[in-house]
Structure 1
Amino acid sequence: MPKFSTLFSILFFSCFVASANFDFNANCLKAYQNVFELKLGTARQLIAAEKKIHPNNSIVPLLENYVDYFYLLTTENKSEFERLEANKEDRIDQISDDDKNSPYYLYAQAQINLQWALIRGRYGAYFTAAREINKANNQLQENAKKFPGFHLNGIGLGIINAVMGALPDGVLKTTLSTFGLKGNLQAGVNMLDKLAENLPKSSYEPFYEETVFNYAYVLSDVAHSPLAYTKTMKYTARIADSSLLKAYLQAYVCARNGHNDEAINILVDKPTGAVYQSFPYLDYLMGIAKLNKLDYSAAAYFERYLQTNKGVNYIKDTNLHLGWISLLKGDSSGFSALMTRIKNSGYTYHERDKQALNEANGPIPNIDLLKARLLFDGGYLTKALTALTDNKVEDFASAKDKTEYYYRLGRINDSLERDDAALSNYQNAINIGKSLKYYYAAKAAVQMGKIYEKKKNLAKAKSSFNIAINMKGHEDENSIETEAKQGLKRIGG
Structure 2
Amino acid sequence: MLATCARISWAVLLLMAMGCTLASAKANTSLEQSPPQAAENEQPVYAPKPEALTASSRRAYAEVFKLRLGTARELLRPELASAPTAPAPLLVANCADFIELLCTQDASRYEALAASQEARLDALDDAPASALRDYARAEITLHLGLSQLLFKHLVMGGYHLRSGYHQMQDVVKQYPAFLPARKTLGLCQFAVGSLPEGYHWLLRLLGLTANPETGLQNLALAANQPNDFQTESQIYLAMIREGYYKKPEEALRLTERLTTHQPDNLLFYYLLISTNKRQHHADAALAAYRARPAGPAYLPIPYLRHMAADLLLYQGDYADSERENLAFLRDYKGQHYRKDAAFKLYLAAWLGGQPAATVARYREMINRPGPADVEEDNYAQHYYHEAVGLNPILTRARLQSDGGYNQQALKTLHAFRTTPATLWRDRIEEPYRRARAFQGLGQLDSAWFYFERTQTVAGPKAPYYFAPQAALQQGYLAQSAGNKPVARKYFQKALNYPWHEYKNSTDAKAKLALRELK
TM-score bracket, normalised by the shorter chain, equals: 0.7 to 0.9
Greater alpha carbon shift after TM alignment, 406-415 vs 457-466: 457-466
**With structure 2 as the length reference, what TM-score do the two structures score?**
0.83
Q: Could you say which structure has the greater relative contact order, defined with CA pairs below 8 angstroms and 6 or more residues apart?
A: 2
2:210 pairs with one of 162, 169, 183: 183
- CA offsets per residue over residues 206-259 of structure 1, 9 Å max, x none? 434433453455345555543464353256256421111111111111111122
1:303 pairs with one of 326, 329, 350: 326
Separation in 1, partners of 2:257, 2:109: 32
**With structure 1 as the length reference, what TM-score do the two structures score?**
0.87
Cα offset for 1:2?
4.6
Q: Secondary structure at the match of 1:85?
A: helix
2:283 counterpart letter in structure 1: D
Separation in 2, partners of 1:443, 1:126: 32
1:381 counterpart letter in structure 2: N
1:74 pairs with one of 103, 109, 114: 103
Separation in 2, partners of 1:414, 1:187: 32
Task: Confirm whether residue 160 of structure 1 aligns to residue 184 of structure 2.
Answer: no
Q: Secondary structure at the match of 1:343?
A: coil
Match of 2:58 in 1: 29
Task: Confirm whether residue 275 of structure 1 aligns to residue 304 of structure 2.
Answer: no
Task: Confirm whether residue 355 of structure 1 aligns to residue 383 of structure 2.
Answer: no
Greater alpha carbon shift after TM alignment, 389-398 vs 479-488: 389-398
Greater alpha carbon shift after TM alignment, 209-218 vs 308-317: 209-218
Q: Indicate conservation of the 8 Å contact 1:212/1:236, yes or no.
A: no
Q: Indicate conservation of the 8 Å contact 2:472/2:506, yes or no.
A: yes
1:410 pairs with one of 435, 458, 465: 435
Q: For the structure 1 residues 3 and 123, does the alpha-carbon distance in structure 2 shift closer, same or farther, using more than 3 Å as the test?
A: closer
Pairing 1:81-480 to 2, within 5 Å after superposition = 81-100=110-129, 102-123=130-151, 128-171=156-199, 173-199=200-226, 204=227, 206-221=228-243, 223=245, 225-227=247-249, 229-233=251-255, 236-237=258-259, 239-296=261-318, 297-331=320-354, 332-362=356-386, 363-394=388-419, 397-433=422-458, 434-480=460-506
Q: Indicate conservation of the 8 Å contact 2:452/2:470, yes or no.
A: yes
Q: For the structure 1 residues 445 and 56, does the alpha-carbon distance in structure 2 shift closer, same or farther, using more than 3 Å as the test?
A: closer
Q: Indicate conservation of the 8 Å contact 1:293/1:378, yes or no.
A: yes
Match of 1:8 in 2: none
Q: Secondary structure at the match of 1:16?
A: coil
2:66 counterpart letter in structure 1: E
- Aligned-CA RMSD value: 2.7
Cα offset for 1:31?
1.5
Q: For the structure 1 residues 300 and 425, does the alpha-carbon distance in structure 2 shift closer, same or farther, using more than 3 Å as the test?
A: same
Separation in 2, partners of 1:228, 1:302: 30
Match of 1:21 in 2: none
Q: For the structure 1 residues 489 and 106, does the alpha-carbon distance in structure 2 shift closer, same or farther, using more than 3 Å as the test?
A: same
Greater alpha carbon shift after TM alignment, 230-239 vs 449-458: 230-239
Q: For the structure 1 residues 408 and 264, does the alpha-carbon distance in structure 2 shift closer, same or farther, using more than 3 Å as the test?
A: same
Q: For the structure 1 residues 170 and 80, does the alpha-carbon distance in structure 2 shift closer, same or farther, using more than 3 Å as the test?
A: farther
Match of 1:50 in 2: 79
1:327 counterpart letter in structure 2: W
Q: Which runs of 5+ in 1 are unaligned?
A: 5-13, 18-23
Match of 2:4 in 1: none
Separation in 2, partners of 1:87, 1:221: 33
Cα offset for 1:119?
4.1
1:16 pairs with one of 38, 51, 64: 51
Q: For the structure 1 residues 169 and 78, does the alpha-carbon distance in structure 2 shift closer, same or farther, using more than 3 Å as the test?
A: farther
Separation in 2, partners of 1:409, 1:491: 28
Cα offset for 1:339?
1.2
Greater alpha carbon shift after TM alignment, 361-370 vs 118-127: 118-127
1:16 counterpart letter in structure 2: E
1:157 counterpart letter in structure 2: L
Separation in 1, partners of 2:422, 2:500: 21
Cα offset for 1:193?
4.3
Separation in 1, partners of 2:195, 2:219: 18
Match of 2:10 in 1: none
Greater alpha carbon shift after TM alignment, 316-325 vs 113-122: 113-122
Pairs aligned (count): 471
Match of 1:7 in 2: none
